Chain A
Amino acid sequence: MEELSALMQGFAVVLTPMNIGLMMVGIILGVIIGVLPGLGGANGVAILLPLTFTMSPTSAIVMLSCIYWGALFGGAITSVLFNIPGEPWSVATTFDGYPMAQQGRAGQALTAAFTSSFVGAFVAVVMITFLAPLVAKFALKFGAPEYFSVYLLTFCSFVGMGKGSPFKILAAMALGFALAAVGMDTVTGQLRLTFGQHELMRGFDFLIAVIGLFGIGEILLSMEEGLSFSGKSARINPKVVWETWKELPKYWVTSLRSSLVGIWMGITPGGATPASFMSYGLAKKMSRNGAKFGTGEIEGVIAPETAAHAAGTSALLPMLALGIPGSPTAAVLLGGLLIWGLQPGPLLFVEQKDFVWGLIASMYLGNLAGLIVVLTTVPLFASILRIPFSIIAPVIIVICAIGAYTVHSAMLDIWFMLGFGVIGYVFKKLNYPLAPMVLALVLGDKAEDSFRQAMLVSQGDLGIMWANPLVGSITTLALVMLLWPLISKLIAKIRTPKADELAAQRPID
């Protein structure tokens, strides 16, 4: 029960009037980001990150994690009311959420979506509370080869779990690593891949990449469609909320199953989207009303939302305990920690107890505050989406430019952001995944360091990756993941696989 007392201390750290104020500001900013086209969790947090540079790390992370919650909740609003998934993992929410809105049950759908997001995230935070310290304690014994094997597993799972051409996943990832290598080599101090350009010495910051790839890229994509929103209006009154809440406990099995699916998938990278689809598929198969899924079944909203948020939250576990983020947004939060001089990883739990438990406490509080804020203010946020695109688009481009500039106060970064925007647009259209590229850009230097250290220890012998059972099994698992596209093809040859009916709708993220 050591965790519980530590958590209580965390609450004490977080619960100052200042922090509660920041929490509310964070949630509202987050929902706005989640609702606006082109701004999502990852680039939204990246843009707002500089606002927190002058705060204390604890206040900053309270605000950032609340922005994150807000963005997650905001994604549900657009899915249900406008049939536009704000994030890849809210695609499954549109299947039943939008039909419900069309039938005039938008309030019910939104209440169900918000409440299940809350439940999913809550279960995942409880899991983090008890599991993260254990994982961190375990990871304290890790050496360079163990770390590299975990990095390897992280990246190989993108290939194994991802959708689309494995070559494209590999290419996007390697491109991220190559961009990460630009600039000063951390070990020898040599300049790499700068080709004599002094501005490139700093290298490419992943925050710029995130803002460009997701923000500008998304605006270009939406512009191409010649946007005209046709949204349903929503009115949530306490009666609808109460009625829906009375109905929700009936589906506790679905909620529990979806939470577990989400947690399990969330710890592996890029897990939120597959988790939401898997959970939707399972609910459809196991529910008595399975045949009616897709026509506005409340269970079809509960299942993907719970799983997506459980997964999104669980992605913070490897970030905190190992320093390896499981999603682009977790990566941005990790970038924030680095900027405040905190080194995420197992030592964080030993050296920065106040901070870690403050963060975990703020996850509980932010989640609860988020639920209250969104339930009371949905109509306000939905009206943001009714602002014409020709006003929203330039404002978002301006916000992205400001965000890109403030990271390093460098003008060149705005140009890079524009370049990344074009790359994001082309990659999105050609089904290249963006998440592995961003994670590779974030983790590039660290993965390289641990690889070089491991090679130094073994004097260049790759056998060190199998030197003990722990590192050996992680490495082997990673290789299985890497070769999974081939293995699954072989299995499919031996026995015909059952068709995955939702495969076509699942986006590549």
Chain B
Amino acid sequence: MSAEHDSPQSEGSPPVAKNHTVDAVVAVVMFILGAVVAFESRRLGAGWTTDGPGAGYFPFYIGMIICISALGIFYQAVFGKSRDGDTFVDREQLGRVLQVLLPAAVYVLAVVFVGLYVASAVYIALFMVILGKYSPIKSVLVGVLVNAVFFLMFEVWFKVPLFKGSLDPLRFLGY
């Protein structure tokens, strides 16, 4: 693992992982996945049943292909001559990605309870205040406005009902 292949964006920020390391890890995950598919297919009947090929006949070979290509990727990542030593992600980049990903997960969780419209408005407003450093008034305005447009578009014009959540705070609107 030499440092000379570092990509230019990673000045200052220490790399969290290199491409070939992640490559190898993903290959291992793929191999396990392929093995699970193949085993499950064998259980379902990968052979020939009385009325033709069994339910696992096709997925079994798919599982095998995943396993074989995972081995190939693993070999290329660990022993290959042209393995990719560039930084997969450095600490600063990982931070930025998680800044989006984690709130997104919280947002989806919130959707379960308060529904798409309310959760989305709150999510957009908070995202703008915290990450975009906008004033709360402007942020809330954008959040509400965007969702009002969505509401009109989906519920009123195209008549596609969206998820209102188990608490259904927008019940009073009658949709």
Contact = CB atoms under 8 A, between A and B. Distances in A.
B88 A429 contact: yes
B123 to A, nearest CB: 6
B127 to A, nearest CB: 4
Given A187-B52, A226-B96, A455-B57, 19 more contacts: A51-B153, A167-B72, A170-B68, A174-B65, A175-B66, A181-B37, A192-B59, A193-B40, A193-B59, A195-B40, A220-B97, A394-B123, A401-B108, A401-B120, A402-B116, A402-B162, A411-B163, A422-B101, A451-B58
Nearest to A195: B40
Given A391-B128, A398-B120, A460-B53, A181 B66 contact: no
Interface residues of A, number: 58
B54 A188 contact: yes
B154 interface: yes
A390 B128 contact: yes
B48 A402 contact: no
Given A390-B128, A398-B124, A224 B89 contact: yes
Q: What is the interface of chain A mostly: helix, strand, loop, or mixed?
A: helix
B8 to A, nearest CB: 12
Interface string A151-170: 00000000000000101101
Interface string B14-52: 000001001100100010011001001100100010001
Contact of B73 (A50, A167, A178, A391): A167
Closest 5 CB pairs of A and B: A390-B132, A167-B72, A394-B127, A171-B69, A170-B69
Interface string A363-403: 00000000000000000000000001011011101100110
Nearest to B104: A397
A177 interface: yes
Given A398-B146, A422-B101, A390 B44 contact: no
Given A188-B54, A223-B100, A415 B108 contact: yes
A418 B104 contact: yes
Interface of B: 9, 19, 22-23, 26, 30, 33-34, 37, 40-41, 44, 48, 52-59, 62-63, 65-66, 68-70, 72-73, 76, 88-89, 92-93, 96-97, 99-101, 104-105, 107-108, 111-112, 116, 120, 123-124, 127-128, 131-134, 142, 146-147, 150, 153-154, 158-163
Contact of A177 (B62, B92, B101): B62
Contacts of A53: 160
Contacts of B127: 390, 393-394
Interface in A94-126: none
Nearest to A405: B163
Interface of A: 50-51, 53-54, 165, 167-168, 170-171, 173-175, 177-178, 181, 185, 187-188, 190, 192-193, 195, 216, 219-220, 223-226, 388, 390-391, 393-395, 397-398, 401-402, 405-406, 409, 411, 414-415, 418, 421-422, 425-426, 429-430, 448, 451-452, 455-456, 460
Contacts of B131: 390
A411 B66 contact: no
Given A178-B33, A223-B96, A398-B123, A168 B69 contact: yes
A220 B132 contact: no
A155 to B, nearest CB: 11
